[in-house]
Amino acid sequence: MTVRRLFGTNGIRGVVGRDIDVDFAYSVGSSVGVLFKKRRVVVGWDGRVSSRMLSEALVGGLLAQGVDVDDCGLITTPALQFLVKNTGASGGVMVTASHNPPEYNGFKVVDSDGIEIAREKEEKVEALIERNSWRAGRSPGVRTPRQAPLQPYFAHLESHVEKEREKLQGLRVVVDPGNGVSALTTPTVLGRLGCEVLTINDNIDGGFPGRPSEPRPDTLATLSRIVREAKADLGVAHDGDGDRAIFADETGRVHWGDRTLTLVADEVLRENPGGKVVTPVNSSMALEEVVKKRRGKLVLTKVGSIFVSRTMVKIGAVLGGEENGGIFYTPHHPVRDGTMATLLVLKALARNSLPLSRLLDRLPRFMMAKEKFQCKSDGAKKKAMARLRTKLKGRVSSELDGLRVDVKDKGWVLVRPSGTEPLLRLYAEGWTEDDLSALTGEFKPLVQAALKD
Ligand code: MG
């Protein structure tokens, strides 16, 4: 029997009504119930319109397998992961499609250590869903609503900025949760720390009326404007489930995640000399430079938060991060957490007593470009990658994830299929603007041709 692969790089994702429905959610709940063997599972969901419906079916499946459910309701992914790890639960499930458009939803399955389950366990879940034969037990589990689920999470977050607490008071921060569930976390934590908090798009709404759920420099014009108008120290934007953070400096300039990651790495390695940092193969050369300067060690992984998390645990890394705004900080929890990331950036501000733009400007700078190319289907995505591999024969420097070509004294290019959407992504980084245009000028037409053939 061939088992259909359901998990992508970030859990199970799909369009509701087409790929995912209540029967499927019941199957996910049942199979996770079997996986975690009749113990206690923490469940939560994001603000998508379909999340409530899917979580009810998911919980039904878990209870039918005799598993007790600790029900957190609306919560961010990192807060749920923190609770799983710190309450002795056997696992957790978050109903979310992260930053995807409103019609999507999905499931992130979390292990007892608060990190998404490893591939072997995903395969077990996939096989159980494929078999689709559930026997409801005679003694169903008990569902208990969790009271104030965020309180222990908030207290733990605050403990990481204890020393800087005084300097954080009065910092003016604009928070843009993008109508996602981080409206419940970041503004509250910053408020408790004495920051002056302004929020936009802070009504949780699965239609994402304020802006697309993915925080990117091109979707954050409002944040940028409000930061300038309010003379704020910085602005931060999260994705739908609150695990990513993209920052605007006090001039309103919005930076990609690897700029802030590089800043945070510089600070964290200052406190942890020789520490290890984990990042996917598409991160900036600037991070490499800073880690080298601090005598740390940079370890590259495939793209996907689970690879970063699991590698961090395996090698004992202190920090991890992704160019899309994911920052993983082991002293808190080695998963990406948009609120923790915000505290780390504020900590850098407090420790250096300099504006964010200055802190970022003094880091090594290279020029980066990112493009996405729509594909007709997942099959077309695979075919295009195969054609590209043939075309680039002899030039590919790494196939850790997608195809990476390093061009001497110019920079690098990476083309990889998205793990969650029918897209090919192209990343390019040049030493100078001219190098970058030369790289994109050569590789963009190559990708377009590979898609057309
Ligand atoms: Mg997310």
Q: What is the pLDDT of residues 186-235, one digit of tens each?
A: 999 999 999 999 999 999 999 999 999 999 999 999 999 999 999 999 99
What value does the CA radius of gyration of the chain take, rounded to a whole number of Å?
Answer: 22
Cα separation of 398 and 377, whole Å? Answer: 25
Determine the number of helices (DSSP H) and then strands (DSSP E) in the chain: 15, 21
7 vs 53, which has greater pLDDT? 53
User: Which amino acid makes up residue 419?
Assistant: G
Residue 140 is predicted with a pLDDT of 94
* Residues contacting residue 450 through CB under 8 Å, at least 6 positions apart: 384, 385, 387, 388, 391
Task: Say how many Å lie between the CA of residue 241 and the centre of ligand 1.
Answer: 5
**pLDDT for 110-141, tens place per residue?**
999 999 999 999 999 999 999 988 887 789 99
**pLDDT for 297-308, tens place per residue?**
999 999 889 999
**pLDDT for 2-42, tens place per residue?**
778 898 878 899 999 999 999 999 999 999 999 998 789 99
Task: Say how many Å lie between the CA of residue 438 and the centre of ligand 1.
Answer: 33
Please give the DSSP secondary-structure letter assigned to residue 354. S
Distance separating the N- and C-terminal Cα atoms of the chain? 33
Task: Say how many Å lie between the CA of residue 242 and the centre of ligand 1.
Answer: 6
Task: Say how many Å lie between the CA of residue 221 and the centre of ligand 1.
Answer: 20
pLDDT category, 1, cuts 50, 70, 90? low
Cα separation of 373 and 375, whole Å? Answer: 6
Residue 350 is predicted with a pLDDT of 96
Average pLDDT for the chain: 95
Cα separation of 129 and 109, whole Å? Answer: 14
* Residues contacting residue 264 through CB under 8 Å, at least 6 positions apart: 319, 321, 327, 329, 341, 344, 345, 348
Task: Say how many Å lie between the CA of residue 437 and the centre of ligand 1.
Answer: 30
Residue 3 is predicted with a pLDDT of 78
Residue 351 is predicted with a pLDDT of 96
Known catalytic membership, residue 98: yes
Mean pLDDT calculated for residue range 169-183 = 98
Catalytic residue from among 51, 55, 90, 98: 98
Mean pLDDT calculated for residue range 47-52 = 98
Residue 453 is predicted with a pLDDT of 66
Cα separation of 441 and 188, whole Å? Answer: 45
pLDDT at 393 over 70: yes
pLDDT category, 422, cuts 50, 70, 90? confident
**Two structure tokens written together for 333:** 């929890």
pLDDT category, 421, cuts 50, 70, 90? confident
Task: Say how many Å lie between the CA of residue 396 and the centre of ligand 1.
Answer: 30
Q: Which range, of 82-91, 184-193, 366-375, averages the lowest pLDDT?
A: 366-375
